[in-house]
Structure 1
Amino acid sequence: MTTTTPGINILLVDDDLKNLMVLETILDAPDHRLIKATTPEEALMTLMSEPCAAIILDVQMPGMSGIELAQLIKQRRKTQNIPIIFLTAHYYEEEHIVLGYGAGAVDYITKPVNPDILRSKVSVFVELYRKTDALTKLNDTLQAEIQERHAAEERFRFVVESSPTAMVVTGQDEKIVLVNSRAESLFGFSREELLGESIRMLIPEGLADDLSTDPRANSGEPVELEVRRKDAGKVPVEVGLSQFEASSGAFHIASLVDITFRKQVEAALMATNRELAIKNAELERAAEERTKRILAEAARAEAEAANQAKDRFLAMLSHELRTPLSPVLHAVAIIREEYQVDKGIRELLDTIQRNVQLEARLIDDLLDLARIRNGKMQLHLENVDLHTLVQRAVEICHPELQRKNIQLKLNLEARNSHSVADAARIQQIFCNLIGNAIKFSPPSSSISINSANADDEKTVQIRFEDVGEGIAPERINRIFDAFEQAHGDRSTGLGLGLAICRALVEGHRGSITASSGGPGRGSVFIVGLPTAAERVTTERTPTRPEKDSPASLRLLVVEDHQDTAVQLKRLLTRRGYAVELASSVESGMALIRDSSFDVLVSDIGLPDGEGLQLMQPFIRAAGERQIGGIALSGYGMAEDIAQSERAGFDFHLTKPVDIGELDKCLHTLAAKVQPVGGRAS
């Protein structure tokens, strides 16, 4: 018949029966006896009657909290040493951590529970309980043996033969006069071989004198020493000495106990204690590291949340700042197209348009700086001709050059002007540097742009030089810092352009430097970029000629900003397009269902949803007919453009939308769409 070992008790305390079922499922094992309690009172009653190896305790319970229950458990001597593991969904709160460990918790586990981690932690405490219980029983056994031995020595002081220990009785001359059978077994000598011999034959040389003078021996207290056996081996024994007087004289009684096993147990106990000390130290280190890791993860999550909030704020700020600029640009375009105005009015309109575009560039600079600082600036690298990009930048800045009557001298002599770069970003750098040169140069002055290859042909350098205001020596080292102004004049911008230029150049593994002879002596900026093998391009013939005016196109324009919608319709209608307006997703859907259109021009941010929701229904409504889509938005980050492309839009224009740019996109789409009722010739 086999007997089963009773399981080790583990107390599970949680007011939620579902949680108790989960814990029971995780910890169910043949050697576990799981005791469940749904209230603190039930848990305390269980602990009064059941020894437990560990307590799994929920922190949040109605009435008495898990921390308060832990404090009560630790106040009772019977239960104060039971390990407590807290379960909580709020472990990241530092106050809970401090209160929990202060209440005597050995560990925290967050919900939802990782089964492997929980089983691993509980198994440590179960094993610790098992070893502690075994050691306690062993210690009890040893204590009982010692008590029994002491009692036997008292009861059978003069009854040597019946003593449970080896007994040796000597006379005053140290000669052995009596031994019992246990002594024979202990020493390996027969009774006949021992009787009449000196006690010193059993005790190593020198120890006999020490034993006779040991105060413990004279007081009857046992003494540990090693005795000699007949086979020359040594046995650790505990010797109890006593003396009694008889008619024949004084006799000494030595009660000897073989303590070989006890020594082995003590050594094992010491080794176990060392192991427990090492494990405790490891647990403490692990708990400390875990706490640090959790705090670090919480800090990292908080920082990431802050960055995401900042990105959302910048995107929303960009949208809110850009949206009102569109009707301003459209109004300027309407005045130019529909009214005959004198030169003075045209100059005022130019001023309005120029400053609206400047405002848009400032918003772009803020977003670019945020992308750079968050490491989200993406570069679309390809083999580009830097000379071509310089010339394009000059074309963009040409109106400003004309306005200030500044002469531009181009001297592009680099033999290899090709580089692997993001064409848009490099052109942005060149426009910024040319714009700065124009801004800080006096009217009717000159600006020169030169290019050359370095001696090793591995770098192409573009040099921008003006004869303007120059840079003070104390500012030259800070000129590329964000929000730093070359001349300390906040009226000239936010001071982000050069900081963005440096970040973009360094992103291309290039360099940018600034130098100046001082105030009033002009400035020189040099951009150095790695060269690449020259790319051979072939002239491509367009498959379809661009139309002069795609007047047959029907447009659905969805825009919730009233001024923008009205002016946009007016401008597009003037260009020959048939335009229907909607101001929401719902009204846009209704028009898609009821009418047919060639191109969807939609704002992304609408009151009842997103313009992205309209594109797929628009495509489905067209059936097999080719249609197009243009997204308009104040959100202009890379992920916003990618979302528009995924939704099916052909173009994504960032507000404020220039009517010329929108018209160019419509001309491009006219080459692919099939207008309602067939293509007009």
Structure 2
Amino acid sequence: MQAREVLRTSVLLVDDQPADLVALERCLAPFSLHVVKVSSGEEALEHVRDEEFALVLMDFRLPGLNGVETAQRMRQLLALRPLPLIFLTGANSEEAVVATGYATGGVDWLSKPVDPERLRAKVRVFVELHREREALRRQQAALREREREELEARRQRAELERERLVVELQEAVRLRDEFLSVASHELKTPLTPLALRLQLMRQELGKPEVDAQRLLGHVEAASAQVRRVTALMDSLLDATRITSGRLTLRREPDVNLAAIVRDVVSNFEAQAARANCPLELEAPARVLGQWDVLRLEQIVTNLLSNALKFGAGGTVSVRVEENEGWARLTVRDEGIGMDESVRARLFGRFERGVSERHYGGLGLGLFITRQVTEALGGRIHAESIPGSGSTFTVELPCSTGGEDSGGVTHGA
């Protein structure tokens, strides 16, 4: 509130002569005051108990309690709230007595008949002082209220933040428990057939005549399960390295992305045949860049494995191309696809678009793929329509160009 804003200002007039009260009120008209008129000290005391006044104009001669006695009672009544008081006196002989009223809170005195200009000059000082003081008090009250509201808002924000952290913690615990359950299942899955193959190998070796071909088949099957366990452990280690910022890149010059893709696609031919997924590859002879060979293989492997898993029974198309210093790898399947809600969290750690009971996996493949891609200075995105398959596109700069590698460690 501005200090100059006009506030309700009350003035108490105390005089036993009605004509004098009217004359005083007329003199004070320019100030837009709330004027309270009483004719005795007893009435004045009743009013000051209930209302705050900027000033009291009081006749010295009053019936019952005189002006000084009334002022003394007012001072006792308002010990913590001083009230300016101007005495009105009609005789020179009273002036000496009125002077004793200064000790009771009186600040001045005027002789009757009162000079209007002189009266207004004195009243103006107290009215403006009161209004300034009242405006300041209201400003302070408003400031305290704002501080209270801000404090309450901060408490509310803190409570909301606490609730958010609790929800995040609960979600983290849920994801951890879900991951541990899935990881346990995924790690046990290859161990069961591995143990079976070892048992069959032991039985085969115990026979008088060992069937080398059959034994070799058991060894190859067991080796496949070991590779599966190794791949799962590598994914866990990569996720840990990424979280701690220790994912290592070993960039080499003139790495041929097209050749790497052809090799990975060739390695997946048997798996694609089992999934009834024809593989189509479109790639030029060379797409060269400064990349980490093993991490490129990891990107291609994860995307192709994902396409064969979710696109079983449909064609999986792989395309490699180069444009204006950027290499692009596109892997498309004709599988189950996904909606926007799944795509929004697809590259998160331990996230899956579908139940692991139907498709398995740790939910780390796409997370690692994105982190490796971004560490190489590239980007990855997915496009999909439920029931119409998915397309994953990876774009990588062919040269480092001084780009930040995302805080990963570089090796020679």
Q: TM-score range by the shorter chain?
A: 0.3 to 0.5
With the length of structure 2 as denominator, give the TM-score of the two structures.
0.47
Q: Name whichever structure is richer in helix by fraction.
A: 2
Which structure has more RCO (C-alpha within 8 Å, separation ≥ 6)?
A: 2
